[in-house]
Structure 1
């Protein structure tokens, strides 16, 4: 093969790779998530080639890597707390019910901001002899007139999208308390990575919350399990419990089980008890 032929073949390969990568960006942005397997089959190349494409596109800031694939940077804009309140209502109610059943009178619990933790706060309004420490406006408002519940608001800077208190003042307040249980909200939770959020300061606060509790529960309906919508992550403690519903991907749940995370399928739990699916 002549040098000219070699150059021509290299140009052709480069052109084909550029076209493939442009199509990957388009697919990730319009379809939301694209897996390595789907992309490999679509373009007729190996999974290793696709992973190299994804690494290059991520380095160029054109896509975001996710668990098992990629997504466009604008594929999942952050939804406000108000928008999320009506999503997966039945699953959130079941998750909140199971969590309520774990709480013992006299405990101090920590409620993160979020729609599912807000559902839990709503079920604690008639509780007796309970102290609730919260970083979320929803929990504070719902428990404001509950005579059996003492409410401690962390304070700090209010982030309107999540209606959560974040920043140094909230972090300082956390150093003055310890809790029996922490119930954490999330935009997504991924095996080996932890809790995904849209804001770095919020992930920092979540890590501090979890460090102040004896037991940690992550409340995530099925759509959020394995979902990596943003680039900010909160690392998990050595032991924690994922509370989800039966719509969660079983293959992803298996990976949590391998990591010795306790898994609760809340909509399989009767009102009077609890059940582990680990």
Structure 2
């Protein structure tokens, strides 16, 4: 019991020192903790993990920074809507991403949930027009390279649109683009809420061999007035939480009867 209490005290001392270093230097590395505390890298990482669980810091690749240094983007209400379905869709979509790939990711709450599921991928490059997504990649995906399009920044939804999106992508052609959809009509196609958003999605599709659309089931058969960015059969893959009545699968079916819908 005495030894156990002593070890606990030593851990507390180390963690206090780590927080002091963060306060003084603005960051701390695993190597620095090992040198100053005389512990292994495994112990140093364990201390950082414990401090992160307690809300004192945020882990980074090879160390940590104070919570106060993080730029936490405002989370719109739409991100929290149907969060469980969006998380499942994002997790399933992440299975399509291979290490070393460059992918295009459009704006939206479901594509943001998809980015949250890419933590295990290595050496990927993510090009997006979404400010929230760009910040997330920069801060929380150390094994990914963030890149953004040009364009005019819409303050309300925090994404770039307009002619500069096209010019910034003019020399780029890659394998996969991941896009959200605000609505789907079986006889008309995939819809975006605003014209400028729709035109940006059209441009993204032009620069990828494969179009993957991420959409939760509440978007099917919407009665609102939206703008089409893709026809029913323009998507190569549609990932959903569920397909009510098989409507999307029927509308998007390939010429040889192949199913394009994947259920998360």
TM-score (ref. length: structure 1): 0.62
Correspondence for 1:204 among 199, 208, 231: 199
Unaligned runs of 5+ in 1: 1-79, 267-278
From 169, 187, 191, give the equivalent of 2:164: 169
The structural deviation recorded for 1:257 is: 4.4
Partner of 2:42: none
Residue matched to 1:115: 109
- Give runs of aligned pairs for residues 1-278 of structure 1, distance below 5 A: 82-145=76-139, 146-236=141-231, 238-246=234-242, 248-258=243-253, 262-266=260-264
Q: Over residues 52-76 of structure 1, what are the superposed CA-to-partner deviations in whole Å (9 max), with x where a residue is unaligned? A: xxxxxxxxxxxxxxxxxxxxxxxxx
For the residue of structure 1 that corresponds to 2:147, the secondary structure is strand
Corresponding residue for residue 13 of structure 1? none
Q: SS of 2:116's equivalent? A: helix
CA distance in 2, matches of 1:162, 1:174: 21
Q: Distance in 2 between matches of 1:253 and 1:199?
A: 22
CA distance in 2: counterparts of 1:176 and 1:216, whole angstroms: 18
Distance across 1 between alignment mates of 2:174 and 2:75? 25
CA shift in 2, pair 1:124/1:116, >3 Å: same
Are residues 176 and 225 of structure 1, via their aligned partners in 2, closer, same or farther at CA, if it must alter by over 3 Å?
same
Shift in alpha-carbon separation, 1:211–1:228, aligned structure 2, 3 A: farther
User: What is the aligned partner in structure 1 of residue 21 from structure 2?
Assistant: none
Shift of residue 228 of structure 1? Answer: 4.7
TM-score between the two structures when normalised by the length of structure 2: 0.65
Measured in 2, the distance between the counterparts of 1:235 and 1:168 equals 19
Q: Take 1:214 and 1:116, find their aligned partners in 2: how far apart are those partners? A: 21
CA contact (8 A) 2:249 2:261 kept: no
CA shift, 1:245, in A, is 1.1
SS in 2 for 1:127: coil
Given that 2:213 and 2:237 are in contact with CA atoms closer than 8 Å, whether structure 1 keeps it comes out as: yes
CA gap of 1:181–1:158, structure 2 versus 1, over 3 A, is same
Once the 2 structures are TM-superposed, how far is the Cα of residue 239 of structure 1 from its aligned partner? 4.7
Q: 1:8-45 CA deviation, whole Å, 9 max, x = no partner?
A: xxxxxxxxxxxxxxxxxxxxxxxxxxxxxxxxxxxxxx
Residue pair 2:254, 2:260 contacting (<8 A) in 1 also: no
Structure 1 Cα separation of the partners of residues 204 and 75 of structure 2: 20
Contact 1:96 1:119 (C-alpha < 8 Å) held by counterparts: yes
- Counterpart CA distance in 2 for 1:140 and 1:219 is 18
Distance 1:166 1:143 in 2: 20
Aligned-residue CA RMSD in angstroms? 2.1
Alignment check: 8 A CA contact 2:183 2:226 kept: no
- Aligned-residue offset at 1:230: 2.4
